[in-house]
Amino acid sequence: MLSTWRIRGRIDSAASGPASCGTMRPEYLPIRDEREVRAFLDRTPLAVDRERFTRFALGFPHRYLEATPPVEIVKHFALVESLGRRAAASALSREGDAYRLVVVAGDRRFLFSRIAGSLLVFGANVVAAEAFANTAKVVLDSFVATDASGTLEKPEERRRLQGFLEGVIEGRIELSQQVAGPAALEGLTIQWDDAAHPETTLMRLVGRDALGLLYAVSRRLSEAGCDIEIAHVETPGGRVADSFYLTASGKKLTRGMKDDLEARLGARAGRDPAGVEVGSIG
């Protein structure tokens, strides 16, 4: 299951995502040493319990402490602290012309697709996202979504979305009864890379963006038995440039698994029509 940094968006351009093809960037590897967290607290004093914060941060990518504004880190920590025995907790706020939904929950299969699907039920389109889990298996997911229908402008609808989402995560609400099954996927191309990360297989997906595409892709990945360990999600110019770092039963994907995913996603290895070169590397 997800062990470090799962979905990242609006952080780097597609060309300089979490790892360029065949190149592993250490800032995206998980924090393992408590001394790194303590050094961060020494240079960036936060009004938090140091020991509890250290447990909160261990397992997150190095880049989290380096690139996330301290005020946001404090909010994330407070949300995790509020989780208690609940299956999930969330916060929803306006961010420019879009909305940011932050969710904390225990790691579980289909978690990412459940969040993306819940946003889809309310007509929101995910344009960027990030997520990661700490060593205690607590996942922090952050989605940025647009709302063309204006549904989320109403405070009561924002509260309803949060309640609906938490019900979906807990299993009290069956998402498949609320949203149509993942739509047919067309025109997607894939690049496979087994050298970009020591423990995962990188699947880079490019193609035309569409409402619900992220839900469709993430659900199919989970249905295929894949765990999304790290990912980078962007939608530049109406196109997707997504990188998913995948494992199956804790190991890199086999050639057969890659072929199965290409079939499930209706994708092929090759050159993206927009000119992005993709193909099998690993």
| Residues 133-142 pLDDT 10s | 899 999 999 9
Q: Are residues 144 and 48 in the same domain?
A: yes
For residue 275, being part of any structural domain is answered with: no
Residue 37 structure tokens: 């967290």
Q: Are residues 202 and 123 in the same domain?
A: no
Q: Are residues 30 and 105 in the same domain?
A: yes
Cβ neighbours, 10 Å, residue 45: 8
Q: Are residues 111 and 134 in the same domain?
A: yes
Query: Which residue, 151, 222, 215, 131, is CA-closest to 178?
Result: 215
Residue 193 structure tokens: 């890379």
Q: Are residues 108 and 169 in the same domain?
A: yes
Q: Give the confidence band of 277 by pLDDT, cuts at 50, 70, 90.
A: very low
- pLDDT of 200 reads 85
For residue 239, being part of any structural domain is answered with: yes
**At a CB cut-off of 8 Å and minimum separation 6, what does 92 contact?**
99, 100, 101, 102, 152, 158, 161, 162
For residue 115, being part of any structural domain is answered with: yes
Q: Are residues 154 and 211 in the same domain?
A: no
Cα angle, residue 242 at apex, residues 100 and 282 outer, rounded to 5°? 150
Beta strands in the chain (DSSP E): 5-7, 88-95, 98-106, 125-133, 138-146, 188-193, 201-208, 227-234, 239-247, 267-269
pLDDT above 70 (res 156): yes
Residues 214-236: what's their mean pLDDT?
88
Q: Give the confidence band of 181 by pLDDT, cuts at 50, 70, 90.
A: low
What is the identity of the amino acid at 33?
A: D
Residue 106 structure tokens: 């225990």
Residues 142-157: what's their mean pLDDT?
94
**C-alpha–C-alpha distance, residues 227 and 1, integer Å:** 5
Q: Which of 177, 199, 223 is the C-terminal boundary of a domain?
A: 177
78 — phi, psi (to 5°)? Answer: -65, -40
Q: Which of 177, 209, 225 is the C-terminal boundary of a domain?
A: 177
Query: Which residue, 150, 155, 135, 121, is CA-closest to 60?
Result: 135
pLDDT above 80 (res 14): no
Q: Are residues 103 and 239 in the same domain?
A: no
Q: Which of 126, 142, 177 is the C-terminal boundary of a domain?
A: 177
Residues 108-121: what's their mean pLDDT?
92
Q: What is the pTM of this model?
A: 0.84
Count of domains observed in the chain: 2
- pLDDT of 93 reads 95
Q: Are residues 50 and 149 in the same domain?
A: yes
Q: What is the pLDDT of residues 41-68, one digit of tens each?
A: 999 989 999 999 999 999 998 989 999 9
Residues 68-77: what's their mean pLDDT?
95
SS3 3: coil
Q: Are residues 162 and 255 in the same domain?
A: no
Lowest mean pLDDT among 36-40, 51-55, 237-241: 237-241
Lowest mean pLDDT among 13-17, 24-28, 51-55: 13-17
Determine the structural domain holding residue 40 and report its residue range.
Answer: 5-177
Positive or negative CA dihedral for 69, 71, 74, 78? negative
